[in-house]
Structure 1
């Protein structure tokens, strides 16, 4: 296993620009596995990233 480059893990907010770029490159949402491997995050953070990406993709709802 490769040692982390920092003792502080990156927050979801820190990885979102990279995640959004991945969506544009792929033309759609990446898989959970791809998020984990590309962004080098664990499962819970990958789930949080995907949740945010899905929310970004949904059109805003106006009452």
Structure 2
């Protein structure tokens, strides 16, 4: 068992981080320092909008 961060046990030579994760890191940092909460909110809403319009997630009640 590898002790430490879970992605440290990867067999990849490089780590994959989604662009959305970077945006969330930025939004979280802006919120934590209390600076430009409007920008942080806009970043979060941008990610939500992208997820809402995703091909994969259209309707949870539709089994197709």
Which category describes the TM-score, using the shorter chain as reference length?
0.3 to 0.5
The answer to which structure has the higher helix fraction is 1
Give the TM-score taking structure 2 as reference length: 0.34
TM-score normalised according to structure 1 size: 0.34
Larger radius of gyration: 2
* Higher normalized contact order (CA 8 Å, seq sep 6+, divided by chain length): 1
